[in-house]
Amino acid sequence: MPKPNILFLFTDDQRADTISALGNPHISTPNLDKLVKSGMVFRNAYCMGGNVGAVCLPSRNMLLSGRSMFRYERYASGDDPNIADSMKQAGYFTYHEGKLGNSAPEIQKKFDINKYVKDQEVRNAGNPGGIIVDDAMRFVDERPKDKPFFAYLAFETPHDPRVAPKRFLDAYDPAKIPLPANFAPQHPFDNGEMAIRDELLAPWPRTPEEIRRHLHEYYAVISAMDENIGRLLRKLEEKQILNDTLILFSADQGIAIGSHGLMGKQNLYQHSMNSPLFFTGPGVPKGESRAMVYLLDIYPTLLEMIGAPKPPGLDGVSFLPALQKKSNTARSRIFLSYRQVQRAIRDERYKMITYPQINRTQLFDLRNDPLEMRDLAADSGSAARITWMKEELRQEQARFGDTQPLATATPAKAEWTPPLPEELKAIRARWKM
């Protein structure tokens, strides 16, 4: 049986709840909706986290290497096993186009065709995803016909600055866009990154009007990108290869935009580490899975799907049984990490987040509180669960090579107040804002 073409659509800063068919009736994403409805959705797909503030950088390196961010300094080496080499060895002609900054250059240069767009320039051009889709359509026309293709399109949006065509902005009334259900004016304590660049995009306290303004632009950009994705899907249909193409869609991580009083992705809440993920195409059933997976598991899963061997040394684990509906589970727990300031672990029901620099811990019951609005850490009866989950967390740290202690003898104060005008001016200058 011939191997399918593979089209991997990978976006930047897109929350898992920003696709209509995944349960958000307030956003228009008709082309992504078709893919969702025709394939298999994974509700519990995670970026492992970030060892730098630009979480998209480690996310993309983990994705393409199948290895944890604790295995290398900043960029995954192209000399180690990687998805580009594996796909070429499996007989694929490989194509990459994506943003220039915060990516995985040592692996991306291994693709047969490797192209970049300048992040800020194309974001400000007002055609989200347009250049990448134009080039991909040319590739579909001109590609070698004697091999299947593996095309990895790493879009520059919906990361800010968010500039959408007027007709997409006009399609939304900001006043009618609901706030996140877990919106808060300010995070209740210092999570270690309260004044990083992303958090400076809106003043404190966060107001409903300001958050709706951001969501208006965010939704409009996603809808515009969706239209461009639709053009590419129609091209595959015109070339009569759509039915022979495995399509998967995901994002490097989510983003807060008002949830928990935060704006960015420098946190371990669901809205920031839970990514959209779905597959459609040959051999993919319709349905939905609650199996817990990492983005770095996609690489070995694709290899198993096409009958290619998994190279040694990967942290990623194939979740093909869950994709084929032969299993309801994949990983038994998920470990999350952000720099030296946050660690988390979740199992099928509970999630614990700990903040090692301030010796603070949160506990959430995701079954009954999926938006993480009720911290159970201080409740009677939670102490034993927290102790047990911290031991699980240490086991996962050891598994992936994380040496960060989970507490400190000299904790910083947990209280945080927004910077005064002069302080804020200096902080913004450091971030070149």
- Res 302 pLDDT > 80: yes
1 pLDDT tier (thresholds 50, 70, 90): confident
pLDDT tens digit sequence for 196-216: 999 999 999 999 999 999 999
- Res 326 pLDDT > 80: yes
Mean pLDDT of the chain: 97
- Res 116 pLDDT > 80: yes
pLDDT tens digit sequence for 15-68: 999 999 999 999 999 999 999 999 999 999 999 999 999 999 999 999 999 999
CB 314 within 8 A of CB 83: no
pLDDT tens digit sequence for 389-423: 999 999 999 999 999 999 999 999 999 999 999 99
Mean pLDDT of 87-111: 97
How many residues does this entry show for the chain? 433
Domain 5-332 has CATH 3.40.720.10: yes
127 pLDDT tier (thresholds 50, 70, 90): very high
Mean pLDDT of 136-148: 97
Residue-wise DSSP of 248-279: EEEES----TTBTT--SS-S-SHHHHEE-EEE
Report the run of H or E that residue 64 belongs to, with start and end.
helix 56-65
The share of the chain scoring above pLDDT 90, in percent, equals 98
Mean pLDDT of 282-304: 98
Taking the CB of residue 174, how many other CB atoms lie within 10 A of it?
16
Long-range contacts, 422-428 (Cβ 8 Å, 24+): 424/200, 427/195, 427/200, 428/200
